[in-house]
Amino acid sequence: MSNNRKERRRQHAVQRPWPISIVWAVVAVGIMLTFAVVVNSFIPNRAIHWDWVALMMVFGSAAGAWARRKGVI
């Protein structure tokens, strides 16, 4: 990667404090687990349906990466 490109990335990078990032992570995980528990209640004879959590992680990570690139978050 050229130095010019690295410099442009550095200029556009947002310096977010760790506590705010941790709060975002806790909120995201809480929403995903709540959704997994709600979906799990519709599936009989299952204690926890972790496949939903895995799918949410994949799509959540992709959505988060997209949002970061677009400057949404």
Write down the domain spans for the chain: 17-70
Place of tokens 């709060």: 23
Number of separate helices (H) and strands (E) present in the chain? 3, 0
In tens, the pLDDT along 17-27 reads: 778 778 888 88
**30 close to 39: Cβ distance less than 8 angstroms:** no
Q: To 5 degrees, how large is the angle CA 59–CA 10–CA 18?
A: 60
Please give the model's pTM, rounded to 2 decimal places. Answer: 0.50
Give the pLDDT band of residue 10 (cuts 50, 70, 90).
low
